[in-house]
Structure 1
């Protein structure tokens, strides 16, 4: 009897040991993940800062004993090249793909390739068309609401344009600081990111739409397509200034880099700060925040790239490792959007301090 009991005890302990080793092996496997990333343009200032924050999340996970491998590609604004990069990442057995689309209207080839391999795809920053996101249940999006950024930019402008910050019974009094020629309307120029790009369209539409809701009389002198790029914006601004010169009272830019390009142009033309129009951006990049602090950029709208990078990494890790965090509706959220914030000279120090603190971590 004792011998039989010893045998049973031995078998029980052996089974426990087997289960323990199996669990340890499973845990070890779960701690190894491979993430593939393709960027529309790695030289974009906002995307560059975004990826630095993403790298910080990767480093933190690695410090906890996880083996996180990241393969990163620059599509250099070519959708064809990005498609090739996605194919290569799939061939290299990435567990999850993070794609910053070049052309938001052309994700189908990427989706088809990932679907065949059953590899989830997280699109980020540049939102694809809603119908495309519903093509497959393993597609996700991390970003922000472009409409909100336009509304907030419009509100920032309206506060500065209106005398005392508000209109009264539909009749408005414009600030002489902005309406320099005192003609009762604001002459402005728009700097747009890309032709047909959703964020550019929404930011422009809702910024100007917000001003119209405030009954602010507007006259658009012109616009420049500068592809989110500082150097292109500088060149466009030089051309526009030669045509309109001091008639320009307001410049609305879809992002900080183009707004900074406008500032560069005014520096090159040697127009004093007092004689420049008010210039507004969106994104709240480090260079943009410093320009607000220095009074060169009137205001910007903070796009929480660090928060988005954290959300992107967490989602990628969950999908790659099989860990599933329950969301409000009982599963991983298909769409994650973080809110924008207004930034003026009065509060930009808070955002700069936070940026500096995070960069040191």
Structure 2
């Protein structure tokens, strides 16, 4: 295994790949990343699936079969994506078994169109869980206000969840509360809490993109907001999962909901390409990286120890300094959530269009 990635793993950071395609699975590339680069998990989203489908012809045979069976566009999308995720789960299963279920996880997202519909989100989550039928699956549910009860419902049913699209500290606390509530309900129902897993995907680089666009060139606060926000999220994680409330669940086998640093590809070329990996090294976290970021860290990334704990006051000061410049934290994170949902909707529409085109050609 690459020594730089090994050092990252040794620091308590689980390395997940933010990408999946049938090409990766069938060519053996995913298995190679697991064995040689320490990848211990995979995340997907509508954008990733749309890109995979448009690149190559490995989906053609299954599309033809589905068309012959009379499947419509929605049914075809469901079948294609769940097939890829099931096969990826099988590739990662040895990691899942070796880590007692902590890693070896593959995520699949509910239809973004359901993000504002609690009941529909819950229904889709259950269907995805039952269809993929693998213990190392994670169902991605957006952290919208309407998504919070769906998260609790899924956890209560024993469904492992990746909560996605988290930008604000307030919403993150609500996500953790939903997870703990779900565990409490699962305990009341007599479920094995040790079999229920969850991560909370806290988005990073988009915060800097939004904030930096409101700052002048050369402002010392540029490139500071995203990391400060994530560090304060970790402080909240320590508080919630070190609490007496969670302690009683831990005694029954419950696992903490680990923070997952998402959107860690650097968007500003002025910043180091490993910025959102190096500066967020801390135990009990996941960093899901685009392959470009993974390769960059393997080539020249540095692990400089814990870069998060003990830096909370400094991070709060960054947020306060931004507020003093008229950049309101609450407004920024609300805008990012809205835009994030819009991007997922657009990607889902693109995916549907791609599948529709493939069905017409089949």
In which range does the TM-score fall when normalised by the shorter chain? under 0.3
- What is the TM-score with the length of structure 2 in the denominator? 0.28
- Structure number, greater radius of gyration: 1
Task: Name the structure, 1 or 2, with higher relative contact order (CA <8 Å, separation 6+).
Answer: 2
| Higher percent of residues as strand | 1
| Higher percent of residues as helix | 2
- What is the TM-score with the length of structure 1 in the denominator? 0.28
